[in-house]
Amino acid sequence: MRVVYLTHEVFRRHDTGSWHPERPARLEAAERGVYSAGFVVEAHEPPPVDRDLLEAVHAADYVDAIDAFCRAGGGHLDPDTVACPASWEAALRAAGAGPAAVEALRASRDGTAFLAVRPPGHHALRARAMGFCLFNNIAVTAAALVEGGERVAIVDWDVHHGNGTQETFADVADVLYVSLHQSPFYPGTGLAEEVGGPGAEGTVVNVPVAAGTAGDVYRAAMDRVVVPAVEAFGPDWLLVSAGYDAHELDPLAEIRLVSADYGYMASRLAELVPPHRIVTFLEGGYHLPAITASVAETLRGFAGEWEPLPPARGPSPAASWESLETAARQVARFWG
């Protein structure tokens, strides 16, 4: 399998401070994972996103405000979200990576794409930065694909709910958003009862799980919730918000996945669309060796070459199994 790999040196100049968990070393860890997976890697530098694509997701005055904030020297946009002068170019190229990956995959009809970008994106709202995110990278790509007449499924396995992505597409019938995330946890959204707005009911599928949840629940969720929903929806493209902060070694969360669990999830997703229709975006993940191992297993999973190990931790809390049952009922209700 060929891996279309997009990253850029400016992402390392997005300076969040020495204390911040969302730091440049995360990209180096992800890159080690990409190159250690054992596939041919085709590296590209993403271009800055076109302004019209960005404004399909974000308000024009918000985009201008981020530009001005970075030009003025940056600082804290909220207690967790930091920008510096280089963050403007980094954010533009992070948002431009997805559309560039789509075009590269269209041209070759071969391989899959992995985007090692900073800042991450799935918390960014239409006119608000939050959760380390400035622009919603995956939403920009999805909106561009929908504008071109295609149906898009987004699977978000970051440990935090992608509130920005869900809010962007809650009323859009051509985008399916599926999230597995720790709850209660930041940002406090992603209830199982959230199913999408009028005319788009069923296009939001949330699986909120309790602290201490392990790979047994995540693998069952893929089999009983994610795969049935995506199959029934019938996407042309599958985009993955790949946070690796649900790993048991991650310092910011309390989920107990191991790297092989990411390989399993990727292997199941690869059954739903051809690999050259899958684009994976780096979101969270703050333990460097865990990022490296999990990125490699993700790519092997997409290629069908992951190590078929059972979940290494379990059993999971009863509340997580109950949440899984609720999500499965929602899928059955809307997708049959």
What is the 8-class DSSP label of residue 276?
G
Q: Which pLDDT value is given to residue 15?
A: 97
The backbone torsions φ and ψ at residue 8, rounded to the nearest 5 degrees and listed phi first, read -155, 145
Vertex 229 angle, CA 238 and 143, to 5°: 40
Which sign does the torsion angle of CA 122, 260, 265, 205 carry? negative
Coil, helix or strand for 187? coil
Cα separation of the two ends of the chain:
34
Coil, helix or strand for 144? helix
* pLDDT tens per residue, range 177-193: 999 999 999 999 999 99
Percent of the chain with pLDDT over 70: 100
Identify whether the C-beta of residue 298 lies closer than 8 Å to the C-beta of residue 242: yes
Confidence bin at 310 (pLDDT 50/70/90): confident
Look up residue 218 and give its two tokens.
Answer: 């995540």
The pLDDT of residue 119 is above 70: yes
Q: Which pLDDT value is given to residue 275?
A: 83
Query: What are the boundaries of each domain within the chain?
Result: 2-335
Residue-averaged pLDDT of the chain: 97
What would be the CATH architecture of the domain defined by 2-335? Answer: 3-Layer(aba) Sandwich (3.40)
Vertex 186 angle, CA 114 and 46, to 5°: 25
pTM: 0.98
Identify whether the C-beta of residue 257 lies closer than 8 Å to the C-beta of residue 296: no
Radius of gyration for the chain, computed over Cα atoms and rounded to the nearest angstrom: 18
Q: Which pLDDT value is given to residue 127?
A: 98
CA dist., res. 29 & res. 7, Å (int): 13
* Active site residue ranges: 123
* pLDDT tens per residue, range 197-245: 999 999 999 999 999 999 999 999 999 999 999 999 999 999 999 999 9
Query: In a 10 Å sphere around its CB, with 0-12 CB exposed, 13-18 middle and 19+ buried, how is residue 51 labelled?
Result: exposed
Q: Which pLDDT value is given to residue 13?
A: 98
In single-letter form, the type of residue at position 97 comes to: A
Specify which of 68-77, 106-115, 305-314 reaches the highest per-range mean pLDDT: 68-77
Distances (CA, A) of 155 to 32, 108, 152, 175, 180: 23, 24, 10, 11, 8
The pLDDT of residue 313 is above 80: no
